[in-house]
Amino acid sequence: MTATFSAWSIRRYGAPDRLAPVQRPMPSPGPTEILIRIRASAVTRADGMMRAGQPCFARAFLGLRRPRKDLSGTGLSGEVIAVGAQVRRFAVGDAVFGEAGLNFGANASHICLDEAGVLMHKPAALSHEDAAVMCDGPLTSLNFLQNVAGLAPGERVLILGGSGSLGSAAVQIAAAMGAHVTATCSARNAGLVASLGAESVIDYTTQDPLAAPERYDVIYDTLGVTTFCKARHSLTQRGRYVCPVLSLGLLAAMLRTAAVGQRKARFSATGLLKPEILRPMLAKLIEMSTAGKLEPVIERIYPLDDLIAAHLHMETGHKRGNIVVV
Ligand SMILES: NC(=O)c1ccc[n+]([C@@H]2O[C@H](COP(=O)([O-])OP(=O)(O)OC[C@H]3O[C@@H](n4cnc5c(N)ncnc54)[C@H](OP(=O)(O)O)[C@@H]3O)[C@@H](O)[C@H]2O)c1
């Protein structure tokens, strides 16, 4: 009998119920590939957008009418169970984590990936669940705070959305970088966000964080809840507004501020950066985690069979930290 693996397929863009469980023939690794038995994988807002084919311009990468690669999921952690003849970085038995990127297929029992991709050895102290979400909130927030905003020790940062996947990582990373952290969240998450390292917590349901007289060197709008124009007066003279949610308004602000003014608006598509750029960033996250400065917040762990329920919860926009399927 041919060996198979379990995965989730998206034949047409749409709601979570478009996800369908499938069995596929077990792949054998090509010369530079490794076959991974997946122990945990992430369910992220980006996965939801890819499933829905939104925003529409993303279909240029994903497939115009239907997903070009039909399997779901990007972030994963597991063990290497077979390697191609030319593989040098990994061996059978290694614990690894990383992301499938535009290959997709991480919400599965097995996956074949090129060893040159965004893959790292998993330290024993890091659980598969924590490792599976490293490429979402932690990697994106390190990219935005360190590379996009150029946050320096002693600077003041306002994190809008401190309790989401990106925000809960950002609070910890900014604090580890020596910044003074203010973050917004609702009252139910205030204790969590303060425990992650925020010196000041603002309840976004009762207070407008941009109405206060405080000025910030960096405003990291993890959810795209405001705009550069509205945030501008809360930035210092050389302040940076950085936002991972692309919109026409953000694009226009980036173009305008690149040409004139000292306050800047910036965006980056972290997942599209080269593996050579992302791997050293993951190494830095491992260092932070080993030093006890970064611990991913995991709100819920679902069995792989319940991927639709995991997507439905992720789509509420109110998850706390991360969601994982195992
Ligand atoms: N450009 C990139 O490289 C990149 C990479 C990854 C993700 N992204 C994007 O980043 C965005 C954020 O993703 P995420 O996973 O961090 O989001 P998320 O985890 O779904 O965010 C949910 C959290 O946001 C809080 N929240 C909701 N409305 C809020 C508001 N107005 N102010 C403050 N907090 C609020 C919720 O708290 P309550 O329940 O208390 O309301 C909840 O804890 C997504 O759009 C995703 O697509 C971009």
Q: What is the pLDDT of residues 216-239, one digit of tens each?
A: 999 999 999 999 999 999 999 999
Residue pair 299/321 in contact (Cβ under 8 Å)? The answer is: yes
pLDDT lower than 70: segments of the chain: none
Query: Of the CATH numbers 3.90.180.10, 3.40.630.30, 2.30.290.10, 3.30.365.10, which one belongs to the domain with range 4-134+298-325?
Result: 3.90.180.10
Q: What residue ranges line ligand 1, CB within 6 angstroms?
A: 44-46, 49, 136-137, 140, 160-161, 163-167, 184-186, 188-189, 204, 222-223, 225, 244-245, 268-271, 317-320
Residue 47's alpha-carbon distances to 63, 110, 305, 307, in angstroms, are: 15, 18, 16, 11
User: Euclidean distance between the first and final Cα of the chain, in Å?
Assistant: 26
pTM, rounded to two decimals: 0.97
- Specify whether the CB–CB gap between 31 and 86 falls below 8 A: yes
Residue 282 pLDDT: 98
How many Å apart are CA 258 and CA 124, to the nearest integer?
44
What pLDDT shows up at residue 58? 85
Nearest CA to ligand 1 atom 5: 140
Residue located nearest, by CA, to atom 8 of ligand 1? 244
- What's the rounded Cα separation, in Å, for the pair 73 and 79? 17
Architecture of the domain delimited by 137-271: 3-Layer(aba) Sandwich (3.40)
User: Residue 171's pLDDT is what?
Assistant: 98
What DSSP character marks residue 77? E
C-beta neighbour count of 23 within 10 angstroms: 11
